[in-house]
Amino acid sequence: MMKRVMLAVLCLCLSALPAYAADEKNDDTLVIYTYDSFASEWGLAPKVIPSFEKMTGIKVELISVGSSGQVLQRAMLEKDHPRADVVIGIDNNLLAKARKADVLSPYRSKGIDQVPEALRFDPEFQVTPFDYGYFALIYDSEVVKNPPKSLEDLTSERFKKSVILMDPRTSGPGLGFLLWTVSAYGDNFADYWKRLTPSILTITDSWSSGYGLFTNGEAPVVLSYSSSPVYHVAFEKSDRYKAAAFEEGHYMQIEGAGILKGAPHRKAAEAFIDFMLSETFQKEIPLTNIMFPANSATPLPESFSHAVKPGKNLQLSPVEIMTKNESWISTWVDTVSK
């Protein structure tokens, strides 16, 4: 989040990366687990992986395992014998779960100094931020003439069976939306979900599948990012799909990557984390992930004027998420299954 737009859609100076020499034994290879949209033909991977391989001599094996939540699940399943070195997609909302699972190893990249303090959501540097955005409801302006103006407005009768959401157990955006409702309604978030349920057409396992249903016309409203319209403007020359600006504010997602404990190719993993904060990588983010780059020096294309700028940024603390997340998800499951 594009992390995020449609499944249905060298040259950096060597001085920008730390000098790297592949270890003759095992550090000339790197295995990365990531989410579907990152690895897709229109995602970040085809733009940046060849550059990394050329500059370092490291061969990358990129494995797409579904959504960002599924990336973490895979790492947890392989905790005792990790196959991968790097996981991409661990965001500020999944950090607590990753810490509890104890699957990541700290690494402070030299490039972190180019990332604003507000985006460094993991003080232990088990996860390094590389982009960020804001969750939003995207609507089809050819169908929806009066878009929602708040979370509460989304429960209106006019949106009955009109909204596509994602499962917080398997999807980063799905979890982000659940936390958005918690940040807005506190302990009464379950009551909100009861009011919202009639508006929901379906809840998908991943962002990619949900957004694909939306662009195929299955429903006129979908959970995505405030920057999602940028894709359609930049590549389809269309402003049909718009982000609804909500009065109570929008929940922020900061996306990151981390090195797994016991990574077979540690040096290669560190080189890749450094590369993710370099100009070569960061400049590709706006028009591939359709997100804001974490490196504050990275310029944004003109099409980003179509990204909604939240009047208020909502977040929950990692500690609060760590202690209450399982309870929130359990309550959510009970609520939406009735």
Q: Same domain, yes or no, for 141 and 245?
A: yes
- pLDDT reading at 18 higher than 70: no
- pLDDT reading at 203 higher than 90: yes
Q: Same domain, yes or no, for 329 and 232?
A: yes
Q: Same domain, yes or no, for 45 and 63?
A: yes
In a domain, 219, yes or no: yes
What is the rounded average pLDDT of the residues 125-138?
97
If one counts every other C-beta atom within 10 angstroms of the C-beta of residue 144, the result is: 18
In a domain, 220, yes or no: yes
- Count the domains in the chain: 2
Q: What is the pLDDT of residue 37?
A: 86
In a domain, 8, yes or no: no
Q: Same domain, yes or no, for 297 and 327?
A: no
In a domain, 5, yes or no: no
Burial (CB < 10 A; 0-12, 13-18, 19+), residue 254, is buried
Strands 221-225 and 163-166: parallel
Q: Same domain, yes or no, for 219 and 182?
A: yes
Q: Same domain, yes or no, for 116 and 198?
A: no
pLDDT band at 275; cut points 50, 70, 90 = very high
- For the domain that residue 33 is a member of, what is the CATH number? 3.40.190.10
Q: Same domain, yes or no, for 191 and 257?
A: no
- pLDDT reading at 82 higher than 50: yes
Q: Same domain, yes or no, for 106 and 215?
A: no
Q: What is the pLDDT of residue 42?
A: 87
Q: What is the pLDDT of residue 5?
A: 42
CB 200 within 8 A of CB 282: no
In a domain, 7, yes or no: no
Strands 128-140 and 250-260: antiparallel
Q: Same domain, yes or no, for 198 and 228?
A: yes
Q: Same domain, yes or no, for 221 and 267?
A: no
What integer best gives the mean pLDDT of the chain?
A: 91
pLDDT band at 147; cut points 50, 70, 90 = very high
Q: What is the pLDDT of residue 26?
A: 61
- pLDDT reading at 8 higher than 50: no
Q: Same domain, yes or no, for 121 and 139?
A: no
Range of the domain at 320: 134-252+306-336
